Amino acid sequence: MRTAYSVETVRAAERELMERLAPGVLMQRAAAGLAAACSGLLGRTYGSRVVLLVGSGDNGGDALHAGARLARRGAGVTAVLLSPERVHEGGLAALRAAGGRVQAAPGTVVEGAPVPVEPVVARADLVVDGIVGIGGKGGLRPSAVELAELVERVRAPVVSVDLPSGVDADTGEVPGVAVRADATVTFGAYKPGLLLDPAREYAGALRLVDIGLGPFLGDAPAAEALQHADVNELLPRPGAESDKYRRGVVGVVAGSARYPGAAVLTVSGALRGGAGAVRYVGPAADAVIARHPETLVSAGPPSKAGRVQAWSVGSGLGEDRDRLEDVLAAPVPVLIDADGLRLADEQALRARTAPTVLTPHAGEAAALLGWERSEVEARRLAAVRELARRTGATVLLKGSTTLVAGPGGVRVNPTGSGWLATAGTGDVLSGLIGSLLAGGLEALEAASVGAYVHGMAGRLAPRPAGASDVADALTAAWRDLLRDGEPAAR
């Protein structure tokens, strides 16, 4: 599992570690990892041209020390200084001693006549972005903006130091122009902004360099991201004594006369979520049975449908508040999606004693919070945390990077794909997560595992894919996750 820590936590860990180390050792560890990553990307270090964009902070020092290492291996290294009067002196001395050159950023003077920066950057085999570190807030200064725009204009390959300059390390917000990196080398721990939209799009491939912070970070990460092995361990598996009831029965309350397809798609996701049986309650029973004859269908209120270990409610529900309220009264986990989010009462959600999962997209989250949609999209981490706090539920905020927040923390889904941005895929997800809840997973685990598997299905489905294609691809996603073997049932 990838774990991301706040800037405050990382800074505190760095201070504690530095008290135990000789001066400069921590920066040298970071620089060594950065230089190794740069060499790997270059392929051939000797004779390559490397440009360092150097700000006044410690990550500017990391870039300078890494540049010195690359220069000693035969690279031609040029440092472009944005704040010559506040540059890291030890790093600058090391670069010069190794034969590196120093140049002024636009609007600054280092020594002698100014030299145009654009030709230097345009000829670079690699640009190292060391402009702003994890403490940067509020966007880039004009001189840094000019460099970021130059790098993008000439399409130079970029490695960012710790995180791309111009993005917020804690929130993933991008308040203005930021550096777009092909790769980011981060030190000691992932930072939340590297995993969150919109900043994630600027980070490129991530590489974590261990500099020894682990023992000092504590046990409360700001965000986590499941990996393949984590999901493999969490997926429910039948045992020798399993029957359909022991595996879990998920109830689906979805669809209406206007939206029968929502019921079909929710059931499609539920049938591929590992539960032993799916019960459908609603007006689209004929459509559901026609597509999935294994479904158990019922008329009347959900509370009379029979044994159910979890409910998925809301997709295409229309204005049927009665069925929603009947489900919310059940003492079992409930997932609420789409129309159910609009109809649900916040006090009723907070009054529930069994787990509740909400799955809004940005527009639905904005309506629930009373925010503008643009604010939710720009401040996704803040939005999902606030909605979880207000409702007492586990909240899955959909998007290219889906976030899940609940009492157990925040999870970031790494498998999202823009190909999932099509009608009906959210219905499939709601059925899938409902099935995982019925199979015994806790709310945070069910939501984050469901998002992971759903994202994989979006990647495996034919392109362009419809929601039915994504539902069909869930089986292949499970097979891929289980390909390393079937652990014993728990």
Kind and range of the H or E run holding 65: helix 58-72
Is 339 annotated in a binding site? The answer is no
pLDDT in tens, 406-435: 988 999 999 988 889 999 999 999 999 999
Is 162 annotated in a binding site? The answer is yes
Query: Quick one: which of 178, 171, 164 has its CA closest to 197?
Result: 171
Q: What does the block give as tokens for 28?
A: 């040298």
Is 400 annotated in a binding site? The answer is yes
Is 228 annotated in a binding site? The answer is no
Mean pLDDT of 445-451: 98
Is 286 annotated in a binding site? The answer is no
Query: Quick one: which of 150, 170, 167 has its CA closest to 201?
Result: 167
pLDDT band at residue 484 under the 50/70/90 scheme: low
- Give the chain's mean pLDDT: 93
Is 476 annotated in a binding site? The answer is no
Is 137 annotated in a binding site? The answer is yes
Mean pLDDT of 224-253: 91
The pLDDT of residue 490: 37
More confident residue, 237 or 187: 187
The pLDDT of residue 127: 98
Instruction: Evaluate if residue 238 carries a pLDDT over 90.
Output: no
pLDDT band at residue 488 under the 50/70/90 scheme: very low
Is 469 annotated in a binding site? The answer is no
The pLDDT of residue 358: 98
Tell me the pTM.
Answer: 0.90
Query: In angstroms, what CA-CA distances link 285 with 128, 262, 289?
Result: 59, 12, 6
More confident residue, 324 or 139: 324
Neighbours of 352 (CB within 10 A): 17
Find all residues with CB under 8 Å of 351, minimum gap 6, and list them: none
The pLDDT of residue 241: 77
Edge-first strand listing for the sheet containing 158-161:
101-104, 76-81, 49-54, 126-130, 158-161, 183-187, 205-209
| 228-481 CATH | 3.40.1190.20
Query: Quick one: which of 171, 133, 189 has its CA closest to 4?
Result: 189
Neighbours of 12 (CB within 10 A): 16
Instruction: Evaluate if residue 487 carries a pLDDT over 70.
Output: no
Mean pLDDT of 348-368: 97
Is 304 annotated in a binding site? The answer is no
Is 136 annotated in a binding site? The answer is yes
Is 197 annotated in a binding site? The answer is no
The pLDDT of residue 489: 41
Domain 2-224 CATH class label: alpha beta
Is 399 annotated in a binding site? The answer is yes
pLDDT in tens, 307-323: 999 999 999 999 999 99
Is 316 annotated in a binding site? The answer is yes
Mean pLDDT of 66-70: 98
Is 59 annotated in a binding site? The answer is yes
Share of the chain above pLDDT 70, in %: 97
pLDDT in tens, 271-296: 999 999 999 999 999 999 999 999 99
Is 243 annotated in a binding site? The answer is no
Mean pLDDT of 469-489: 81
Location of each CATH 3.40.1190.20 domain in the chain: 228-481
Is 363 annotated in a binding site? The answer is no
Is 402 annotated in a binding site? The answer is yes
Is 454 annotated in a binding site? The answer is no
- Rounded to whole angstroms, the Cα distance separating 391 from 358 reads 9
Is 262 annotated in a binding site? The answer is yes
**3-class state of residue 364 by DSSP:** helix
Instruction: Evaluate if residue 250 carries a pLDDT over 70.
Output: yes
Query: In angstroms, what CA-CA distances link 181 with 199, 479, 488?
Result: 11, 34, 43
Is 427 annotated in a binding site? The answer is yes
What's the start-to-end Cα distance of the chain, in Å? 21
Is 408 annotated in a binding site? The answer is no
pLDDT band at residue 258 under the 50/70/90 scheme: very high
Radius of gyration of the chain measured on its C-alpha atoms? 26
The pLDDT of residue 483: 77
Is 191 annotated in a binding site? The answer is no
- Rounded to whole angstroms, the Cα distance separating 149 from 392 reads 43
Mean pLDDT of 339-345: 96
Is 269 annotated in a binding site? The answer is no
Is 232 annotated in a binding site? The answer is no
pLDDT band at residue 114 under the 50/70/90 scheme: low
Location of each CATH 3.40.50.10260 domain in the chain: 2-224
Kind and range of the H or E run holding 232: helix 228-234
Is 62 annotated in a binding site? The answer is yes
